[in-house]
Structure formats: structure tokens, C-alpha cells
Copies of this chain bind each other. A is one copy, B any other.
Amino acid sequence: MFNEARKLINTNAHIYIERLAEAVAIRSVSTDLSCRDDCFAMADLLHRWIEELGGSSDKVLVGFQELDDGSRYDLPPVILAEFSAGKPRQKPTVLVYGHYDVQPAAEADGWSTDPFTLSEVDGKLYGRGSTDDKGPILAWLWAIEIHRELELELPVNVKFCLEGMEESNSECLDDLLERESKGGFLSNVDYVVITDNYWVTTDKPCLTYGLRGLATFHCEVKAGTQTLHSGVYGGCIAEPMTDVIQLLAAVSEYGHGDIGIENCGRKSATPITEAETELYKGITFDAEAFRHEAGDVPALLGENEKEVLMNRWRYPSLSIHGIEGGYSGEGFKTVIPGAATGKFSIRLVPGQDGKAVEESVKAVLEKRFAELKSANKMTVTSTSSKAWLADPRCPLYQSGAAALLKVYGVKPDLTREGGSIPVAGLLQEKLGVETMLLPLGQSDDGAHSENEKMSKRNYLQGVQVLFTFLGEIARAHE
């Protein structure tokens, strides 16, 4: 049926694109409360499409946000949907996770086209959400539709968990997963597939088996309630900005390449095994291109491509993201902010314990702050989500690899990512089953940036990859 599916996808291409345009046109920006109705509209559209394709869909309300002024906003629903295979209960169940909310976007940010009008230019489909994550979740629906059109029974049960708050820390998803995994909708899932990341390059597909976790830190130092002028107050008060600079310098003093804080550095990462080293061997990765994409930085940390990838995927790193408070615009303003907050994070890797990282960082901050003998008040808040690692030799990954090989004609690379997708670890942990990241988009898709796109090829081949994968995992499970 592979070739029939291909033909059908070619025939239907313009319909798939029109539907993606319809989805992109809905401003489902979860971080922007003025777009909350659009988030609900987007859930309605998916709900309708799923039911039209013969699935059952439930829009589950998970809670609300309450603002300081007491006003409440319902959270966008999580869609829990199901398509049954020919003989339910005898076939395995694949759970697909995706999200229908998007990052904010405005033409003024530097978009070449209206971000909420899908625009095809040179084979690329530009628009907010095209690749993150509306395109991929739509590709799943059309992969199911093809079974109907070709009058095929689904080879596996397919469940969907599509949330509308992913770009806003997946608020309340945790509770829902906890509830539904204990005898609920998610209790009989055999495999989890997440389509919400990207290839490592622009031309070679991959499957992703590992992610770094993330510990975030807000370190606030407060003197008073007002922004002061350094001509009037300079020399008369202990300045919060100076304190924050010293604190950030203390956590980052080890310099480039490692973190000098107990429980945080390379020493606390799981040692590299031979099997792991083996996985890096065939990977297609052009460090020079990577350096160029990074805005032509003068150098990469790492002696060779394997080391660069390991720095990116399996070693911890500390980044200082910025300081809230003071003057951060162009030019010069002689202000003394009344408070300043340093924001930094540590990417966590297997072997590291988030709580231990949080405690160790706080200890360094507290020690340094005590040394400063400042009259000000320091407050540190932190969060952490741990790294995630799957076994890329299990049947799930083999099925994904087989599907990609059939569609693209190459064996996909088995890769990890330096970023965090907390839901991967969460699902694997709550459901206790193997989880796979199966990206459809390319490295240059620009999720979260201006001019986000999904290549038409990746969208359409993506439908075929997912169609093929369902057959492969059914066979592998037998």
C-alpha cells in the first residue's frame, strides 16, 4: 500500500496545505491571554477534524489561570482522542503527543510574510505553527485519513494527547497525565511518539532518543522600590545590580566548557560507554555549518564534530540569559535599579539530580552574597526538570527507522538534543513505556523565530512516514 499512499498524498497535497493554512490562521498563542478564544477555536477545529475522520475526541478542561486582579481564564483544553484499529484490544496502542498552541508572532518582528497566513515560497510553507507543532499533528491526522481512503483498517490503535499550553510550560498537563495514566484514557498505551522536534540537519531524517533537562534560576537582589539616578544616589547605597553581577560571576566563574559548582559539572554526568560512542559514529553533522548557523561565532567548543555534539547533547552547560532591572536598551542611562534579577539556567544530563543541582547553585549564591556584606535582600527561586533518555535499540525506534528508510531512502541518524521537552520524560515516567521523538521538520525550520516554516516536502513525506510507521510498529509488536 506504500505506493498507493504516495499517489494519494500527491493528489491530496493541496488539500493538506489548505487545511494547514486554516490551522495557521488561528492565533492560538497560549502566552497571550487576548488569544485565549483562538486557542479554544483551534481545539474545536481539531476536534471536528478528528470526529470527521471517525475518531472519538474529548476536549478536557484542565483548569484556569487567575490573574492578580482576580480575573480568571480557562486553560485551553487537552484533546484526548482515539482511533481504533480493526480489532481493538488485540492490537497495540500508540499514543501521539503534540500541541496546537503556538509562540507569539508579529510581522514587526521581522517576518517576511504575515505569520498567520500560510505562504508558500520556493517549496516552503511559512507561518507561525507550520512546523511547531500544527504541521506535524495535522500530518498524523492525514496519515489516518489515508487508511480510510484506501479502505484499510488501522494496524494499531492510535490515541492522541494534543495540548494547548505547551508554549506556556504545559500548565496542568502533569495532573491530567497522572489522572489518566492510572486506569484512565492513557492506561493501556504501549508506545509513545512525540512529533515536536527537528532534524539535526536540513536533509537527513533522524530519531531522537535523548534530551537534556533544565534547571532554571531567578536570583533577585532588592534594595528599594524605585529606580534611582546614579548622580543622586551613586555612592550612597549598596546597588542591587552590583550584587547581582557578583553573584552571576560566582556561578559562572569556571568559564567556558564546564561548570565549577558541585553536582553541576561534567563530573556529575553519566560516564560515556562504548555503546554510546558507537552511536555518534555515523551521524551526519557539519560543525562548520553549525558554526555558521550560530551567527558565525568565532569558534565552537569541542575539538571535533563528535565533541561538539557531545557538548550539545550529553554534557551540562550553564547559560546566563540576562538581567531584569536596570537599563537594557540602546544608548546609556545612568540609572540604579531598585532591584535586579539575574536569570540563568543549567542544562541537565543523565546522571544529574535536579534537586541537588538547585541546592548546590543556591549554596554558591548564598556564600557569595554573604561575602558581599550587602544590606540588600537576595531571593533565589529555581525549577528543574530532568534529562530524558530512551533505548534507541528497542522495537519502537526500529519501526521509526524502517519507516524513514522507506520514505527517504536513508537510515536515520539516532540523535539526542540539547534542549528540553519535559513531556517526553513525563510520559515515559507516567506510562512506563518506551517513548520516541519522531521529528518531521528540518533544522532550519525556525520554530519560535520569525519566518517559521515547514518545507512542503517534509509535510507531505511526513504524512507518508507516519502512515508507514503505523504498519511497521504493528508488525514489530507481533
List the interface of chain A (C-beta within 8 A of B): 212, 214, 216, 218, 223-226, 228-239, 241-242, 245-246, 248-249, 252-253, 255-256, 290, 294-302, 308, 311-312, 315-330, 332-338, 343, 345, 347, 372-377, 417-420, 448
Contacts and interface: CB of A to CB of B under 8 A. Distances in A.
A283 to B, nearest CB: 15
25 contacts: A214-B231, A223-B295, A223-B298, A228-B294, A233-B312, A235-B315, A235-B347, A236-B302, A236-B312, A237-B297, A241-B319, A241-B321, A242-B319, A245-B248, A245-B320, A249-B249, A255-B372, A295-B338, A319-B336, A321-B333, A321-B334, A322-B323, A322-B326, A322-B327, A332-B345
Given A320-B239, A373-B255, A418-B235, A448 B229 contact: yes
Given A328-B322, A332-B321, A300 B419 contact: no
Contact of A232 (B236, B296, B345, B419): B419
Contacts of A214: 231, 334
A253 B248 CA distance: 12
A212 B236 contact: no
Contacts of A336: 319, 321
A375 B297 contact: yes
B317 A235 contact: yes
Contacts of A290: 236
A236 B417 contact: no
Contacts of A325: 322, 328
A231 B420 contact: yes
A349 to B, nearest CB: 10
A145 B103 CA distance: 62
Given A228-B294, A294-B228, A326 B323 contact: yes
In order of increasing CB-CB distance, the 6 nearest A-B pairs are A231-B419, A224-B295, A322-B326, A226-B295, A235-B317, A249-B249
Copies of this chain in its oligomeric complex: 2
The secondary structure that dominates the A interface is loop
Contacts of A333: 321-322
A241 B328 CA distance: 13
A317 B256 CA distance: 31
Contacts of A374: 256
A377 B235 CA distance: 31
A212 B236 CA distance: 14
A308 to B, nearest CB: 6
Given A232-B312, A329-B324, A252 B245 contact: yes
A225 B294 CA distance: 8
Contact of A226 (B294, B308, B319, B322): B294
A337 to B, nearest CB: 7
Given A230-B317, A231-B420, 10 more contacts: A233-B312, A236-B294, A239-B256, A239-B320, A242-B319, A256-B372, A321-B334, A322-B333, A324-B330, A328-B328
B237 A212 contact: no
A311 B231 CA distance: 11
B311 A228 contact: no
A214 B333 CA distance: 12
Contacts of A245: 245, 248-249, 252, 320
Contacts of A322: 241, 323, 325-328, 333, 335, 337
A249 B248 CA distance: 9
A323 B324 contact: no
B347 A327 contact: no
